[in-house]
Structure 1
Amino acid sequence: MDSLFTLSGKTILITGASSGIGRATAVLCAKMGATVILVARDEEKLNQVRSMLEGSNHICKIVDFADYDSVESLVESLPIVDGVVNSAGINNKYLIKFVDEVKMDNMFKVNCFSPALLIKHLLKKKKLAKGSSIVFLSSISSTYATISNALYAASKGAINSLTRVLALELSSMKIRVNSIQPGMVNTEMVKAYGLSEEELEANAKSYPLGRLGKPEDIANGIVFLLSDASCWITGISLIIDGGVTLR
C-alpha cells in the first residue's frame, strides 16, 4: 500500500472500540494495514468488532475507563504503539440544577481524566513510539452550546485544552497530538437520547450538508491524523460537522 495514508506496520490503540466511532475507526485502521488493539468494557462486543477487521494479530482488552487502576493495568500489558485514539466517552444530559458531585465526577473521569492518565502511563512506561500520533475525541459541544449539555461540553472543552498543551509537551519526541470535534453522529450514544424519528430528521435538516454524520465520516478524519499524511499537523481540533457550526 504505497501511500502516505497507509497505516501498514503501525500498531494503533483504540478506546471505546466496541461501538460507534471507535468501531468504525478500528475497521478502517485495519483496512489501512494497522494492527489494532481494541479497548472497551464489553468483551462480547469487542470480539464481534475483531471479527470484522481485515488482517490478523488484532488484540482485545477489557477495560472500564471509570476505573483508574484498570487504565494503568492496561498500559502494563501493551506493546509499543504508534497511535492512540481516545474514543471512549459518555454523555448523560442534565440541566445544571440537577448536577451533583457524582455526576460531575463520572463525566470527567471517563471523558477527560482517564484519557489523560492513559497518555501519562504510556509515556512513563515508554509504550509510545517516537513519531506516534494521539487523537482525542472532542465535540462541537465544547464551543456550540445546547441546553442540558453543560457537563459533557465542559469535559470536551478540557480535551481541547489538553490537546494543545500535550502537542507542545510531546513535540520534542515528534509525537503529534490532535483532536476531532464531531457534530451529531448517528451512533448508539445519540440513540440513547430517546429522540423520535421526527426530531432526528429536524436535526438533520439543520445541517448545511443535509444529514447527520456517520461514524465512518469521523473515522476518515481520525485515520488521516494517525497517518503520515498529517505529519506536519499537531495541536489542532478538526471540526467534522456537516457545516452545522457555520450557522
Structure 2
Amino acid sequence: MFSYEGKKALVTGAGRGIGRAIALAFARQGADVALAARSRDQLEEVAEEIRALGRQAYVLPTNLGDVLAADAMVGQGVEAMGALHVLVNNAGGGVDVPGDFGPLAETSPEAFDAMYALNVRSPLFAAIAAAKQMGAQGTGGAILNIVSIDAVFPAPTEALYGSAKAALVNLTKVLGYEVGPDRVRVNAIAPGVVETALTAPWLATEEMRQDRASFYPLGRVGQPDDVAAAAVYLCSDEAGWVSGNVLYVTGGQLATSDVFRWTRAHNPVPESARI
C-alpha cells in the first residue's frame, strides 16, 4: 500500500518543517523528489537525507513570493525529473510586511498583496502548470495544497492569512473539478498548530506547550509527520477517487465548540485597534 515507485514529486517549502517531512515521506515510499524553497542550504540538507534513502533529489531554490517563479519552478522540476506526478504546495505563511498579522484596522495594501502573492497566486499558478503537465503526460497525477484551519474558521489577528488560505481552498475545489477529466486530483490539508520553526514562539516553554495542547482533544500539538502521513495518503493511488476535498489534521480541534479559544485568549484585539 502507498507505493510511490516510479513517481516524481515536487514539494515546495521543502527545506524544513512540514515540507521536509512530506518530501522525506514520499522518498521513503519510493518517489524521487524535487525540493523548492528559498534556502539552498536547507534544501541541500534535505536532498542528502533523500539520497541516503536511495532516491533521487533535486534542489530548486525558489522565492515563491514572486508569482512568476511558480510556473518556472514547475518547468525546472519537470526538466530535472523527466515527468511530474505529484505537486505539494506547502510554501506559505507570513510575509514579514507590516500589517500581515494583527487587527484588520492596522493592515496595509502592501501586506494584503504580499500575503495573497505567497499564499494564493503562487500555489494556484504552480498547480495550473502542474495540472497541464500531468494531463500532457497522460498519466494524471495529484496536487495537494497545504492550507490551514484558519481557512474555515475566522481567527482574530490572522484575517489576511486565513482569508488567503480560504481562497486557496475554493481554488482547490474548482481546479479539481476542471482537471478531473485528465485524471488529475486536487486536494488540500488544513493543519492545526504543528510544531515547526514558525510556531516555536507559541511553544517556547513547557508551560506554553501544555497550555496550547490543552485546547486539542487529543492532548498534544501536531508534528510535521502527522501532516506528512495525510499527504502520503492523499497523493497516493489509493486515494484515486478523492478530489476537491479538504482533510483537517487538527488533533480533534474541529470537534470543540469554540475552535479559536486559544487565539482569543492570547491574541486579543486591542481596544486601540477596534474600528
Structure 1 length normalisation: TM-score? Answer: 0.93
Question: Which of 1 and 2 has higher RCO (CA within 8 Å, sep 6+)?
Answer: 1
Q: Distance in 2 between matches of 1:176 and 1:127?
A: 11
Match in the other structure for 1:67: 66
Match in the other structure for 1:24: 21
Q: Deviations over 1:133-177 (max 9, x none)?
A: 000001111122322110111011011101110110001101000
Letter in 2 for 1:51: E
Letter in 2 for 1:110: L
Residue segments in structure 2 that go unaligned for 5+ positions in a row: 95-99, 257-275
Letter in 1 for 2:233: F
Match in the other structure for 1:8: 5
Shift of 1:231: 0.6
Match in the other structure for 1:236: 245
Q: Distance in 2 between matches of 1:161 and 1:140?
A: 14
Equivalent residues in 2 for 1:213-224 (5 A)?
213-224=222-233
Q: Distance in 1 between matches of 2:30 and 2:136?
A: 19
Equivalent residues in 2 for 1:38-49 (5 A)?
38-49=35-46
Between Structure 1 and Structure 2, whose CA radius of gyration is higher?
2
Letter in 2 for 1:81: L
Q: Deviations over 1:184-229 (max 9, x none)?
A: 1011111155865423321111100010000000000001011111
Equivalent residues in 2 for 1:122-137 (5 A)?
122-124=130-132, 129=137, 130-137=139-146
Shift of 1:52: 1.3
Shift of 1:58: 1.1
User: Conserved in 2, the CA contact under 8 Å of 1:12 and 1:35?
Assistant: yes
Q: Distance in 1 between matches of 2:66 and 2:178?
A: 26
User: Conserved in 1, the CA contact under 8 Å of 2:131 and 2:184?
Assistant: no
Q: Distance in 1 between matches of 2:167 and 2:19?
A: 20
Q: Deviations over 1:109-143 (max 9, x none)?
A: 11111011112233456687432000000111112
Q: Within the alignment, does 1:204 sit opposite 2:213 as a pair? A: yes
**Matched length:** 244
Query: What percentage of aligned pairs have identical amino acids?
Result: 32
Equivalent residues in 2 for 1:158-173 (5 A)?
158-173=167-182
Letter in 1 for 2:107: V
Letter in 2 for 1:174: R
Match in the other structure for 1:97: 105
User: Conserved in 1, the CA contact under 8 Å of 2:86 and 2:141?
Assistant: yes
Residue segments in structure 1 that go unaligned for 5+ positions in a row: none
Q: 1:115 aligns with which of 119, 123, 128?
A: 123
Alpha-carbon distance change, 125 to 188 in structure 1, aligned in 2, over 3 angstroms:
same
Q: Distance in 2 between matches of 1:203 and 1:28?
A: 27
Match in the other structure for 2:193: 184
Q: Distance in 1 between matches of 2:66 and 2:118?
A: 9
Letter in 2 for 1:56: R
